[in-house]
Amino acid sequence: MYLRPSLKLMPQRAQMRIPDSVADFLTCKRIAVAGVSRNPNHVGNGIFRRFRELGYEVFPVNPHAAEVEGVAAFSDVQSIPGKVDGLMIATRPDVAVDLVRQCAKCGIQRVWIHRGLGTGSVSEASVREAKTLGLTCIAGGCPFMYCEPVDVFHRYMHKCLHFLHRVP
């Protein structure tokens, strides 16, 4: 498995096993993040920033913004130049289905649909659509529960979501 030097996965422990789908997603080099907002406090923005800090090439997707956090934003996944390896969805659940379909049209095989304690971006329809289209879909959780250094918040979230059966 290829990992860029700055990225380390959380050590595998019985209670914090890293699913193969998660490890595979985190080997992506070019990741789009849908749901990045002009509001820097939005969860999508935090994910966008953290992926950039970890050395990924990251593309913000927001149909209502030309720029997000000083980076050119794309109105949809198809507008991103070149091949994108994975899409992180941090939008309203009703938007996720269309984003999954955009992935299939663009040849993006890996989709991660963010979910914390609430519904997050996950919907039954988006997960079902991803399966129908043959995409690898991670429904729930957050990548930063698996990337070192894992902050206290994400360690706690991982334990809570694991207990609730809402992690991959």
pLDDT tens across the length of the chain (168 residues): 334 444 555 554 434 578 899 999 999 999 999 999 999 999 999 999 999 999 999 999 999 999 999 999 999 999 999 999 999 999 999 999 999 999 999 999 999 999 876 778 999 999 999 999 999 999 988 998 988 888 898 888 888 877 877 777
The Cα–Cα gap between 143 and 134 comes to 21
Alpha helical stretches, state H, 9-143: 20-25, 43-53, 93-106, 124-132
Cβ atoms within 10 Å of 166's Cβ, excluding its own: 19
The Cα–Cα gap between 119 and 5 comes to 33
How far CA 12 is from CA of 18, 46, 155, in Å, comes to 6, 25, 13
Alpha helical stretches, state H, 72-151: 93-106, 124-132
pLDDT at 3: 45
Instruction: Give the predicted TM-score (pTM) of the model.
Output: 0.86
Alpha helical stretches, state H, 16-151: 20-25, 43-53, 93-106, 124-132
**Domain 17-163, CATH number (from 1.10.8.50, 3.40.50.300, 3.80.10.10, 3.40.50.720):** 3.40.50.720
pLDDT at 168: 73
pLDDT at 22: 94
How far CA 7 is from CA of 17, 36, 56, 126, 160, in Å, comes to 17, 22, 9, 29, 24
pLDDT at 150: 85
The residues, ordered by sequence, that sit 6+ positions from 13 with a Cβ below 8 Å of its Cβ are: none
Q: Domain segments of the chain: what residues?
A: 17-163
pLDDT at 8: 54
The Cα–Cα gap between 139 and 114 comes to 7
